[in-house]
């Protein structure tokens, strides 16, 4: 019998969301998925433009010391670059990615969150499906890496066996030739 526990796919039934207006009806929302990570959502005129999933255990109270901090900020920079690529504004008027990151995290700390769920937000469903797909992709990558390692070990074992056999046969042939 084959049994699989799919608890790793279970997603909380409610997410916390904060949002920062960036430029002319464009905003970045940060959604916290407890035990899984975050989703960064780029919105234009309240329509979803892009969604990124960030599998991390970073929390608003450990942002300064966390190893994922710079990767998180880089994703925000990507979203800001997308917003500003079509905007004709001076460089000093653009918001800096680290400030946007810290402001979003501070909003979580201050409790300025909206709770979203399947009934009141389309983003919830997109994130839920995305995290399930991400978990499955992570499992696939681990399985592929394991299969590759098994294949390498098998090839190395076979070459070792071949060498031993060749040495054994070579020794037998030498013995036979030397005896004659």
What DSSP letter does each residue of 106-145 carry, written as one string?
HHHHTT--EEE-TTT-HHHHHHHHHHHHHHHHHHHHHHHH
Q: Mean per-residue pLDDT for 68-76?
A: 87
In terms of Cα–Cα distance, which of 29, 38, 24 is closest to 127?
A: 38
Mean pLDDT (the chain) is: 78
pLDDT of residue 2 exceeding 80: no
0.85 exceeded by pTM: no
Sequence-distant (6+) residues with CB within 8 A of 82 are 42, 49, 50
Q: Does residue 177 lie within any of the structural domains?
A: no
Residue 78 and residue 93: Cα distance in Å, rounded?
A: 17
Of the given ranges (22-26, 84-88, 135-139, 173-177), which has the lowest mean pLDDT? 173-177
Q: Does residue 94 lie within any of the structural domains?
A: yes
Q: Does residue 60 lie within any of the structural domains?
A: yes
- What band does 140 get if pLDDT is binned at 50, 70 and 90? confident
Q: Are 111 and 17 in contact (CB under 8 A)?
A: no
Tell me the per-residue pLDDT of 36-70, one tens digit each, with 9 for 90 and over. 888 888 888 878 888 888 888 888 888 788 888 88
Q: Does residue 37 lie within any of the structural domains?
A: yes
Q: Does residue 161 lie within any of the structural domains?
A: no
Q: Which residue has the higher pLDDT, 131 or 169?
A: 131
Q: Which domain holds residue 30?
A: 14-120
Q: Does residue 55 lie within any of the structural domains?
A: yes
Q: Does residue 2 lie within any of the structural domains?
A: no
Count of domains in the chain? 1
Q: Does residue 167 lie within any of the structural domains?
A: no
């Amino acid at each position: 019998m084959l049994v699989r526990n799919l608890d790793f796919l279970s997603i909380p039934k409610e997410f916390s969301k904060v949002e920062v207006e960036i430029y002319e009806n464009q905003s970045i929302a940060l959604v916290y998925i407890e035990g899984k990570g975050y989703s960064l959502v780029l919105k234009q005129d309240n329509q979803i433009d892009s969604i990124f999933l960030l599998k991390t255990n970073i929390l608003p109270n450990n942002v300064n010391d966390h190893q994922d901090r710079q990767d998180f900020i880089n994703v925000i920079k990507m979203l800001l670059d997308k917003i500003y690529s079509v905007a004709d504004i001076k460089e000093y008027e653009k918001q800096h990615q680290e400030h946007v990151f810290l402001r979003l995290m501070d909003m979580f700390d201050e409790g300025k969150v909206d709770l979203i769920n399947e009934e009141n937000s389309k983003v919830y469903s997109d994130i839920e499906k995305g995290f399930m797909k991400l978990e499955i992709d992570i499992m696939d990558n681990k399985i592929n890496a394991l299969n590759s390692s098994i294949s390498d070990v098998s090839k190395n074992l076979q070459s070792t066996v071949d060498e031993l056999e060749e040495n054994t046969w070579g020794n037998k042939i030498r013995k036979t030739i030397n005896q004659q």
